[in-house]
Structure 1
Amino acid sequence: MLRPLAGLLCICLVASKATAAESFGFSDVAAKARDLAQQGWSAPPGIPDFLREIEYSRYQEIRFREDRNLWRDSDSPFQVMLTPAGKHFTHAVALNEIRDGEVQPIPFARDNFSYPSEEFAKRIPADLGYAGFRLTYPLRGPDINNQFLAFAGASYFRGVGRSDGFGLSARGVAIDTGLSSGEEFPSFIEFWLEKPAGGAEEMVLYALLDGPSLTGAYRFTVRPGDALEVDVQAQLFFRNQVGLAGYAPLTSMFYYGENTLRPLGEWRPQTHDSDGLLVVDGDSGEWLWRPLINPASLRMSYLRANNPKGFGLIQRDRDFRDFQDLEARYERRPSAWVEPRGDWGKGNVVLVEIPTRSEVNDNIVAFWAPEESPGAGDSVELAYTLTFGPPDITGSPAGAAMNTFVGDGNRIGGGDQDGAYRILVDFAGGALDKTDPGADVVSHVSAVGDTRVLEHFVEYSEPTGQWRLSMLVKPPPDQTLDLRAYLSREGEPLTETWTYELPPGLDIRSQ
């Protein structure tokens, strides 16, 4: 549930001490966050310059020793690997474990890591601390410690299902993302890890967040498996009014795909961690799909989603032939799906698309934003389930837009209309898969603004077993092309609603 509160009570911050496990819980973390919000913000102590300025390849040579995994000598199927500070991880976090009925700090030890050289190891401060941690679980065999969830850097965390490789990230919160005022990056500054019993299939951990404009308390209940489920309970305490509060944020990368130009010199067909945003509006129940783009300038889209039933960044391209990258293996990148619990009220799913000339930059952010941003002294409670895994984690019953192709509408195969685009969308899944190829499937296409829809039709694609919607559309010069489309039969929708925006500056009709 998402609920604004007022009149915050100041509670004295208690230093971390051994505490009975049964007496420690979410309310204790919330009390710390509430008190911290009454104080001025101070940036966490930084790490030495040589670690912050280290080359990425050099940082990768600092490796945690697997024989030092936390809980390795217990019967718990969960273990914990610790993350070294350095490069992008510019401050340490406090780590605690709840074990044998007590909360105890996890002390830093230099010899938990192997280093590039002895000379390098000597420069590591004895009290440096850890940047975060990675959780392991035997997903692919009883004797294999598979990493499935990692917390490190600001409030970022990444998760995978059984067959996935790491890709997009989630965050605790997003503050003023995409605004000209500049984005804030609050950080998790302390964690408490509750040691699971032998044979346990889930694990609980708590986190304390701090940033210039707010603090926060979090409880994560994690269940690894074919898909990773993370139940999130959070309470946020705002020090200041913010311009744009983003809840359950997801961060990903889209460099180029089937609906964009391939950069000059690129041999791979596509390069992205996610290829679209999926949203379920709570009022209408409509499933809305938006293919991602790599814009020429920053773009922010507000997709109305009152009391949303779900939203996420999805990787629908799951075939190696879609990417041809033996190293990155983008076809194994997970999707992430947010399912809110309780009534979140009126608001929008915000999609931020940032220009990038490289796949190393995370340039896509999606989150839910309330209609009215919280003010100084407000508190917000929210709960949701976040799932990492294959694209079917959404549970969508509708036919899905699997491919979007965009080309010139004034050439052979495209049409004979100067200034127009030929756009093709392949749909599959849901009731479409049981629809006879000769059935009367109807296409519905509408444009926003002055874009003209010159023609549209749908046909069955025998080679792929999908239904292809073909559109010829013409936007006014220097205006954004903005379309919506879906398929139906006998008056009943068969598919989600496909939406697409192509702004000026991304003219892919001729090069």
Structure 2
Amino acid sequence: MQRILPLLALLGAFIPAAAMAAFGFEDVAEKARDLASKPYQAPTPIPKFMQTMSYDDYQNIRFNPEKSLWRESGSRFQVMMVPPGLFYRHAVKLNVIDAEGSHGVPFRKTDFVFADSEVAKRVPANLGYAGFKLTYPLKGEKEQNQFMVFAGASYFRGVGRDNSFGISARGLAIDTGLSRGEEFPSFTEFWLERPSPDAQAMTFYGLLEGESVAGAYEFVVYPGKVTRLKVRSKLFPRQNIELLGVAPLTSMFYYGENTGRPRGEWRTQVHDSDGLQIQDGNSGEWLWRPLLNPRTLEMDYLMTENVRGFGLLQRDREFSDYQDLQARYELRPSSWVKTEGDWGPGQVVLVQLPTENETNDNIVAFWRPKDKVTAGQALEYAYEVQFGGAELGGNPMGRAVNSYVGDGSVIGGGSEKGAYRILVDFNGGVLDKQRPRAPVLSHVTATDGGEVLEHFVEYNEALKGWRLSVLARPAEKKPLSLRAYLSLGDETLTETWTYRLPANNDIRIPE
């Protein structure tokens, strides 16, 4: 027996979660429910000098990959720790669930490499971790690739196999875009189930805490060409919430093909995402909204009866779209939220903030329920967050791949004072099955008092698709709001392209 017991102990570390000491989602939910019944207590902040350190000083604190959790067993999933500092102003508690039950992961200062000995001397031995990074052999069995990061408030980022990091997701958004200011709840504790060495999925849990709400989350992640994160949440509001944002996505749009180029910029476009895509369950409609960098805050509330999915996509996927060898925006991931169950009526909210550079995430998209969110109720949501290429969502319709906007009173645009010329290129999906001389029709409508002066569609040989041309004029001092799609007889061929150009913009030449 003495020779067998060590082997059993070793194997016990990899017993499937179902056979482990009982701890799971309902245990986290009970913790969240209990917290929601008590006054909120903010997490303990890290030392002041770490909150105010420079970006370079923070980057010079690096986790040693040789110290990754589960590296000793050769596990495909491994965990690297994120140090607090700069933007990460409080520690989170990390736990591991294995054959021995649930137990904390102690902070070890020696697991980090400090480029500055003075900083190393001042970092306390009980600092804690700001979050974690997950690694997996996405690009070859002999290397561990970072594919997901949980750090900072309720933020997390993911990539598919062929992506570089860009867009972020969050556990929850509260009052985003409202004048009184946004609330940022945080994940304060995580439990990581130890996977078997050859596992292809990993499960972990998170406890969310904020002034208005406490919540429990279950995450099951499947890394791959498209990385999928299945999410289950239970939310317990401790006070009424005016604007609850479920499954929020956060991205950056500085400028693109449908905006003016900032003076002095040589790059063609600069953005992590170029549009919002929505799939409504009841109507079956697919909608596309190109993003903007507005001069003032813009908030759009897009009605859904039973949303099946929404996402911020990066459809421009060629290097020539950006010409940036460092940022490589063509490799930034798209992200798609696939809902599970009936979420009922609500709105996909698009928040667009002005930004003067590419360092600020100025785009947020999330779903909000129609019904009011009140203290004491419990809310449950299940969905999947995907990170990958522009094909996420599985849209079978023709897609808007380019949107150009120009002055409608200049040569090449038109001769209508106060108007705009809009060009939209569609291809893909069922549209690609149409022959170049097919009698494809365009359908364009304006709202907010706008006027559609002309519209027509023609085959675009260069892109093997169809180009819609629109000349439209907004009402005086009003935004230009348009909807458009293509059809063949009674058959709809494309998604619905929607656009809202604020009255205060940089497109038209000053009179």
**TM-score interval (norm. to shorter):** over 0.9
Which residue number in structure 2 is paired with residue 306 of structure 1?
Answer: 305
Q: Distance in 2 between matches of 1:126 and 1:40?
A: 30
Q: Distance in 2 between matches of 1:369 and 1:200?
A: 35
SS of 1:147 mapped into structure 2: strand
Which residue number in structure 2 is paired with residue 489 of structure 1?
Answer: 488
Which residue number in structure 2 is paired with residue 506 of structure 1?
Answer: 505
Paired AA for residue 418 in structure 2: G
Which residue number in structure 2 is paired with residue 339 of structure 1?
Answer: 338
Cα offsets for 1:301-340 (capped at 9, x unmatched): 0000122011010110110111111111111111111111
1:99 CA displacement: 2.2
1:449 CA displacement: 2.7
1:75 CA displacement: 3.6
Q: Distance in 1 between matches of 2:98 and 2:328?
A: 38
Which residue number in structure 2 is paired with residue 462 of structure 1?
Answer: 461
Q: Distance in 1 between matches of 2:465 and 2:294?
A: 29
Which residue number in structure 1 is paired with residue 132 of structure 2?
Answer: 133
Is this contact kept in 1: 2:313–2:334, CA < 8 A?
yes
Q: Distance in 1 between matches of 2:24 and 2:198?
A: 22
Q: Distance in 2 between matches of 1:418 and 1:299?
A: 25
Paired AA for residue 418 in structure 1: K
SS of 1:130 mapped into structure 2: coil
1:507 CA displacement: 4.0
Cα offsets for 1:26-68 (capped at 9, x unmatched): 0100010010111111110001111111111221111110110
Paired AA for residue 71 in structure 2: R
RMSD of Structure 2 on Structure 1 (CA): 1.1
Equivalent residues in 2 for 1:6-405 (5 A)?
Answer: 21-405=20-404
Q: Calculate percent identity across the aligned residue pairs.
A: 58
SS of 1:432 mapped into structure 2: helix
SS of 1:467 mapped into structure 2: strand
1:20 CA displacement: 8.2
Which residue number in structure 2 is paired with residue 478 of structure 1?
Answer: 477
SS of 2:230 mapped into structure 1: strand
Q: Distance in 2 between matches of 1:207 and 1:245?
A: 19
Is this contact kept in 2: 1:177–1:244, CA < 8 A?
yes
Paired AA for residue 95 in structure 2: N
Q: Distance in 1 between matches of 2:281 and 2:180?
A: 31
Q: Distance in 1 between matches of 2:21 and 2:337?
A: 30
Paired AA for residue 300 in structure 1: M
Which residue number in structure 2 is paired with residue 4 of structure 1?
Answer: none
Moved more, 23-32 or 94-103: 94-103
SS of 1:393 mapped into structure 2: coil
Paired AA for residue 409 in structure 1: G
Which residue number in structure 1 is paired with residue 418 of structure 2?
Answer: 419
Which residue number in structure 1 is paired with residue 433 of structure 2?
Answer: 434
Paired AA for residue 362 in structure 1: D
Which residue number in structure 2 is paired with residue 14 of structure 1?
Answer: none
SS of 1:394 mapped into structure 2: coil
Is this contact kept in 1: 2:21–2:99, CA < 8 A?
no
Q: Distance in 1 between matches of 2:193 and 2:100?
A: 10
SS of 2:187 mapped into structure 1: strand
Is this contact kept in 2: 1:20–1:102, CA < 8 A?
no
| Structure with more relative contact order (C-alpha pairs < 8 Å, separation 6 or more) | 1
Q: Distance in 1 between matches of 2:169 and 2:508?
A: 35
Is this contact kept in 1: 2:252–2:271, CA < 8 A?
yes
Cα offsets for 1:145-189 (capped at 9, x unmatched): 000010000000000000000111110011111111211000000
Q: Distance in 2 between matches of 1:505 and 1:411?
A: 19
Paired AA for residue 41 in structure 1: Y
Unpaired runs of 5+ residues, structure 2, are 1-17
Is this contact kept in 1: 2:148–2:156, CA < 8 A?
yes
TM-score, structure 1 length as denominator?
0.95
Paired AA for residue 222 in structure 1: V
Q: Distance in 2 between matches of 1:75 and 1:450?
A: 64
Q: Distance in 2 between matches of 1:205 and 1:94?
A: 13
Is this contact kept in 1: 2:260–2:506, CA < 8 A?
no
Paired AA for residue 72 in structure 2: D
1:411 CA displacement: 1.4
Cα offsets for 1:314-370 (capped at 9, x unmatched): 110110111111111111111111111111111000000011111111110000000
1:22 CA displacement: 3.9
